[in-house]
Each structure stands twice: as C-alpha cells, then as structure tokens.
C-alpha cells in the first residue's frame, strides 16, 4: 500500500488560489482560498500576531498564529452566525451612553446657552411606528446568500 506523500511548504502554498491580508494594529488577518486534494475550494482564516520579547540584551520577535478552516458546506451557517454576532455587538454599542462609545470625548455646550446657564433638554419625540422595532443595524449589509 502506498503511504501518503508528505507535502512541502511550497506545495501547500501552491494550494492558495486567492489571498487577502487585513492589517489591524499588531495583528494581520489572512483570508485565503485554498484547494483540497480533491480540488474543492475552502477558506483558511489566519490571525497572525507579532510578539516582541526581550531576552537579556536581545530582542526576540515571533508570531503567534491561529487558524480556522471553513468549508463550503458551512459558509451559510457561518455567515448567519457571524451576522447575528456582529448585529448584537452593534446594537449593544448603540445602547451605551455616548461617553462610553467615544474615548476622550469633550463635553459640548448646548447651543444658545452660556457656560453657566443650563439648557432644558427636549423630551424625545415618540414615533409609534418605530417604538416597537429594534434599531436598524448596519450589519444587515453583511448578509451574504449562498
């Protein structure tokens, strides 16, 4: 019986059909389209984080990597779950008071008042049409159908 042939790093890199790198601070996310041995396409998502440490007088740089593989039959469920999760985060953030959403936000004086004078806030206008509906999320743009 033939043993499976070990594949070199060059062989594995040849399997990459398309690649997209997303830089995010100390992290880089790689979203690669790869091909299985049966010529089926799948996603390989890699988070690569640069780790710098000092050992004596030397600075050591290494990369911590985490991967997930996503196969075509799971795309719809994955996108649905990701969309729901992103919507939850977006809606949770929109419920926070403004000062928690924006770092180092300076207070803004209401227009038409002096610094020592207080302005009466207007009560929110009620709209019976929208009162029962949750706020619309921009994450609906992320919905992808397969």
When divided into structural domains, the chain yields a total of 1
CA atoms of 105 and 124, how far apart (whole Å):
23
Q: Give strand pairing partners of 45.
A: 31, 68
For 6-30, what is each residue's pLDDT tens digit?
666 556 666 899 999 999 998 999 9
CA atoms of 75 and 145, how far apart (whole Å):
9
Structural domain contains residue 36: yes
Structural domain contains residue 82: yes
Q: What are phi and psi of 53, to 5 degrees?
A: -135, 155
For 63, the enclosing helix (H) or strand (E) is: strand 58-71
At 107 the pLDDT is 45
Structural domain contains residue 120: no
For 87-128, what is each residue's pLDDT tens digit?
999 998 888 776 655 554 454 444 444 444 444 444 444 444
Residue 15 belongs to a domain with what CATH number? 3.10.450.700
For 59-93, what is each residue's pLDDT tens digit?
999 999 999 999 999 999 999 999 999 999 999 88
Task: Print the domain residue range for 30.
Answer: 10-93
Structural domain contains residue 115: no
Structural domain contains residue 42: yes
Structural domain contains residue 134: no
């Amino acid at each position: 019986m033939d043993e499976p042939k070990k594949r070199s790093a060059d062989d594995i890199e040849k399997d990459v059909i398309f690649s997209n790198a997303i830089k995010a601070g100390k992290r880089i996310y790689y979203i690669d389209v790869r091909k299985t041995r049966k010529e089926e396409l799948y996603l390989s998502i890699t988070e690569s984080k640069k780790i710098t440490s000092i050992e004596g007088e030397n600075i050591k740089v290494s990369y911590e990597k985490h991967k997930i593989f996503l196969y075509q039959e799971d795309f719809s469920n994955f996108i649905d779950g990701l969309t729901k999760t992103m919507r939850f985060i977006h809606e949770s953030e929109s419920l926070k008071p403004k000062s928690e959403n924006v770092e180092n936000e300076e207070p803004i004086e209401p227009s038409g008042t002096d610094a020592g004078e207080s302005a009466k806030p207007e009560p929110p206008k009620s709209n019976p049409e929208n009162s029962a509906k949750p706020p619309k999320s921009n994450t609906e743009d992320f919905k992808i159908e397969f």
